[in-house]
């Protein structure tokens, strides 16, 4: 039998759920990010806390325990308990974020529904951001999902017009 332990979430759309490395549960909803605290209460992060768009579709924790938040318009990360709008900080276009992963070198790969994949250099301190899109050979810039195989060899991209993949190690070596 199913239970509904958090009435505050009952009328919301739940887009994503993430358990972070500290065991906290995060819920991406149509009204912001809800985080379950140690005392079993929910803390909301929304427009008042710095999200310009509170439709939180994607959640990801990187190896440095930084929480990434993908919304219908922007990419954010939380560092030192502050929300940083990645799009504004690095002057990249607003786009719906569809998935976020990290490769073995520390690069963050952010799939979007309009601009392909943003490849963020080793961590947020790097200003190196590459884009994988039609100009680099994709048939469609609308990426619905990405997956890096366990060996880190192939990057798979699902689009509305089919499936694409690239040899990720060769792609990285080619610059």
CA distance 38 to 170: 44
Give tens-digit pLDDT for 109-128: 999 999 999 999 865 555 57
CA 85 to chain centre: 12
Asked if 93 contacts 87 with a C-beta cutoff of 8 angstroms, the reply is yes
Q: Is the pLDDT of residue 130 over 90?
A: no
Give tens-digit pLDDT for 11-68: 999 999 999 999 999 999 999 999 998 888 999 999 999 999 989 999 999 999 999 9
Asked if 51 contacts 57 with a C-beta cutoff of 8 angstroms, the reply is no
Asked if 98 contacts 110 with a C-beta cutoff of 8 angstroms, the reply is no
What per-residue confidence (pLDDT) applies to 44?
92
What per-residue confidence (pLDDT) applies to 20?
96
pTM over 0.75: yes
Q: Is the pLDDT of residue 5 over 80?
A: yes
Q: Is the pLDDT of residue 90 over 90?
A: no
């Amino acid at each position: 039998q199913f239970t509904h332990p958090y009435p505050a979430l009952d009328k919301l759309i739940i887009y994503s759920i993430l358990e972070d490395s500290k065991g906290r549960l995060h819920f991406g909803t149509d009204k912001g990010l809800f985080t379950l605290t140690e005392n079993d209460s929910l803390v909301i992060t929304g427009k008042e806390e710095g999200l310009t768009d509170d439709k939180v579709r994607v959640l990801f924790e990187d190896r440095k325990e930084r929480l990434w938040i993908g919304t219908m318009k922007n990419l954010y990360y939380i560092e030192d308990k502050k929300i940083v709008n990645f799009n504004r900080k690095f002057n990249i276009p607003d786009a719906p974020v569809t998935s976020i992963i990290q490769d073995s070198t520390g690069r963050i790969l952010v799939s979007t529904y309009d601009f392909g994949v943003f490849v963020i250099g080793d961590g947020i301190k790097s200003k190196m951001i590459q884009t994988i899109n039609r100009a680099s050979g994709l048939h469609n810039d609308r990426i619905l999902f990405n997956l890096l195989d366990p060996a880190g060899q192939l990057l798979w991209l699902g689009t509305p017009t089919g499936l694409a993949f690239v040899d990720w190690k060769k792609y990285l070596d080619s610059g």
